[in-house]
Amino acid sequence: MKKTTELLLISVLLTGCAAPAAETGESAESAKTQEATASQPAETPDPEFLQDTIEQLERTLDPIYNDGDVLPQIEDAEITWNIVSGNAVIEDNVIRKTEDSAEYEPVVLSASADGFPLEHSFGNILLLDPYAGYVISYFSERTSEPETMKLAYTYNGVEWFALNGDRAVLKASVGTGRLRDPAVFRRKDGTFAVCATQGYDTDAIYLYDSQDLTSFTNERLMKVNRTPLSEKQAWAPEAFYDRTLDQYVICWSSVEDEGMFYNLSIDLQDASEPQRLLDPGYVIIDGTMIKCGPDYAIVFKDERYPMEDYSTLMSGYSENGWTDFKEFSQPISQHQSEGPMIMPDLENEGYYVFYDDYTRFRFHALYTQDFRSRYYDAVPEEIMTIPLDSPAHSHAIPVTRKEMDRVVNYWH
């Protein structure tokens, strides 16, 4: 009887151990299934969410990124970037060059949002080496070479050095021959171009091409002030490449037409009909724009008279593209100010705004942490070094170490 009881007890014990083992296996399998399900996105992504994400990323992406730059993220979605084409890698949302990268490496990106692949390619992007400083274009009115383009450079924004002994690096040989307000900008392929005012009362601007800012070729005139405008003035042109349009935007001013206008150009040979850029309700000139993530900031001159009461700089900010400036600051500069130039601080998160004190033929500067704040500090004169003779209307372009070395070695 005792042996029978022991056998029964052993049987019960064995049976009792077997049941939990089976349950543990089922639980493990169930947990594995739940974990796999949790790691996958929902089966049906919201098409509106995907399209909105694509549009936000298109607005946010810049045409140029530097080796080591962080790629953009947006609110309400976790973005994972991938390389579609180009010699580049992305690690922890940072894009980097490889050993096979060209100096100007074309890159196409793709992305996922919250795990959902976006069926969209993001192109018209160049990957460059890190920026080392700025090359600055300007002209003079009172020197032996007035109305010609000159160049300077800076590594930190406030200490400038003249190139070519503060003498002309470019003179106009067509049109009026009066080259004013020169602005260097990048072409789609990473090389450079220059646009400039042709005197005072003309409907066309100067354009030049340059591989490396040591020589300038293909001098030409582009008519931008066209019907239905006055066809009389095209002052202080600036240009930039818009990667979403895959076109160049050329902005300029005309007092005769009471404001700022823009044209589009595919190849910088011909321009579209002009359109008004913005309308603050009074005559403005000398506008300069900069892209800030998905947004745009602009600084311009209030051209109302008398200049003792106006002739100050104003700023504006747009969260809906460069054609949608609607709210503007109060004056941010002293009177008799014009020709503003925006230079992002390469060492800190802020912006310099240089401008002409045109009655005294010198530059002053403001500094802002964020254009949306509309708050600007005057940069102390004692920390600035600008050893140029009566400079006017400057424009700065960021350059890499290789580009800077080529420019400085050639023009020194």
Do residues 104 and 238 share a domain?
no
- pLDDT for residue 307: 83
Angstrom distance (rounded) from CA 187 to CA 200: 26
Do residues 183 and 286 share a domain?
yes
Query: Is residue 9 one of the residues assigned to a domain?
Result: no
| Domain final residue, candidates 128, 155, 182 | 128
Do residues 119 and 245 share a domain?
no
Specify whether the CB–CB gap between 296 and 350 falls below 8 A: no
| Domain final residue, candidates 82, 108, 128 | 128
Give the pair of three-digit tokens for residue 198: 């042709």
Q: What domain range is 238 assigned to?
A: 131-411
**Of 215, 216, 235, nearest to 224 (Cα)?**
235
Query: Is residue 227 one of the residues assigned to a domain?
Result: yes
CATH code: domain of residue 175: 2.115.10.20
- pLDDT for residue 20: 36
- pLDDT for residue 41: 52
Q: Break the chain down into helix, strand, coil percent, rounded to 5.
A: 15, 45, 40
CATH code: domain of residue 80: 2.60.40
Do residues 152 and 109 share a domain?
no
Angstrom distance (rounded) from CA 219 to CA 98: 36
Please report the DSSP string for 227-259 in residue order: TTS-SS--EEEEEEEETTTTEEEEEEEETTTTE
Query: Is residue 31 one of the residues assigned to a domain?
Result: no
Query: Is residue 229 one of the residues assigned to a domain?
Result: yes
Do residues 231 and 84 share a domain?
no
Which are the contacts of 88, defined by CB distance < 8 A and separation ≥ 6?
95, 96, 97, 98, 101, 105, 107, 127
Specify whether the CB–CB gap between 161 and 154 falls below 8 A: yes
Do residues 256 and 371 share a domain?
yes
Cβ-count burial 184-200 (b if 16+ within 10 Å, e if not)? bbbbbebebbbbbbbbe
Sign of CA dihedral 316, 319, 320, 321: positive
Do residues 309 and 242 share a domain?
yes
**Which amino acid does the sequence have at 73?**
Q
Do residues 235 and 354 share a domain?
yes
Specify whether the CB–CB gap between 256 and 274 falls below 8 A: no
Query: Is residue 255 one of the residues assigned to a domain?
Result: yes
Do residues 118 and 208 share a domain?
no
Do residues 120 and 138 share a domain?
no
Angstrom distance (rounded) from CA 286 to CA 253: 6
- pLDDT for residue 37: 43
Specify whether the CB–CB gap between 354 and 343 falls below 8 A: yes
Domains: count for the chain: 2
- pLDDT for residue 44: 78
- Cis bond upstream, residue 340 (ω within 30): no
**Of 241, 175, 171, 242, nearest to 205 (Cα)?**
175
Angstrom distance (rounded) from CA 188 to CA 106: 10
Query: Is residue 32 one of the residues assigned to a domain?
Result: no
Query: Is residue 182 one of the residues assigned to a domain?
Result: yes
Residues of the chain with pLDDT under 70: 1-42
Query: Is residue 42 one of the residues assigned to a domain?
Result: no
Do residues 168 and 249 share a domain?
yes
Using left for φ > 0, alpha for ψ between -120 and 50, and beta otherwise, residue 157 falls in left
Do residues 76 and 215 share a domain?
no
Specify whether the CB–CB gap between 146 and 159 falls below 8 A: no
Angstrom distance (rounded) from CA 133 to CA 408: 12
pTM: 0.88
| Domain final residue, candidates 66, 99, 128 | 128
**Which amino acid does the sequence have at 65?**
Y
| E-strand stretches of 121-228 | 122-128, 131-140, 150-154, 160-162, 179-186, 192-198, 204-210, 217-223
Angstrom distance (rounded) from CA 17 to CA 27: 16
